[in-house]
Amino acid sequence: MAREVRNITVTPEEAGQKIVAFINRRLGETVPQSAVMRWIRTGQVRLDGGRTRPFVRVAAGQSVRLPPCELRAMPVRTAGPAPPFPVIYEDDALTAVNKPSGLPVHPGSGWSDSVQTRLEAACPGASFAPTPAHRLDRDTTGILLIAKTFEKLRELHQLFRDHRVGKEYLAWVAGRFPGDPGRFTLLEDNLEKKGPPGLERMQTGSGKQALTEAYVLRAGDGASLLRLRILTGRTHQIRAQLAARGHPLIGDRKYGGPPGAIMLHAWRVTLPDLILAWPPDWTGEWAVAAGLPETA
């Protein structure tokens, strides 16, 4: 229980957040968000000594006053080992890792383990816990961007909204995929969720537009290796578009693919000032490390 007034200084990593988000991140689940909103609106929260509004953004070095409050008991989080992800790139504000298969980016129904929870466990004392800037499906491997400051997280979100982040995937699909040699083919569909509760999947229909470019790297009667550029960010976009053409991903049983591990890897991410590439660790007949396009 915090029975005394608390004064918190905004760190550089936290700068740029709305004050309600700043307080929620600092207090976690120990105080309901509704209580934080009430504190701000009734003047119990002070920013550099003055009243404020919920969506004012805080700056590094500012002081936030919190009123005495009853804190919920939370389990103690102990420091753990560094997350077992190969680090592809790192600077003061950004880390890029190779996400393994079978691990969701965020915790959800039936899945407490995730990239986010592992990052938080590895950084228990951080004023801003490193945060994934986008999603990858649970069984998709490959490059995942993680912001180490709120300012970087906001910058990356804006880049994604402005379609200034290029994302490319490698995928093995069932059958001989048609395509013009030496050029990308545009896959254009409208996708919507269909099916009974708990068994829904994305299918072509009258939903949101999905655009993907496909380039055939290898083609065979049994399977083809594709290089894929996604131009929109729909749920299960690649999986649904390929399945709709009779070429589901190898291992994607939900969308009609043959058994095995899902062969989909986020291999390349292009930012305005940075290009990252990381080949999949597929082996045997699925190995693709040799002959991949240059990253420059």
Active site residue 137: yes
CA 193 to chain centre: 21
Using DSSP's 3-state secondary structure scheme, residue 235 falls into coil
Neighbouring C-beta atoms of residue 205, cutoff 10 Å: 13
- Beta bridge mates, 249: 173
Name the strand (E) or helix (H) holding 17. none
> Distance between CA 36 and CA 41 in Å, rounded?
9
Could you list the beta-strand ranges (E) of the chain: 6-9, 46-47, 63-66, 87-90, 94-99, 131-132, 141-147, 166-174, 185-194, 201-204, 208-219, 223-230, 264-271, 274-277
Using DSSP's 3-state secondary structure scheme, residue 194 falls into strand
DSSP-derived letter for residue 272 is T
**Catalytic entry in 137, 139, 189, 252:** 137
Tokens, residue 162: 């402005």
Sheet with 6-9, strands from edge to edge, namely: 6-9, 63-66, 46-47
> Distance between CA 170 and CA 279 in Å, rounded?
9
Would you please indicate which residues are annotated as catalytic (active-site) residues?
Answer: 137
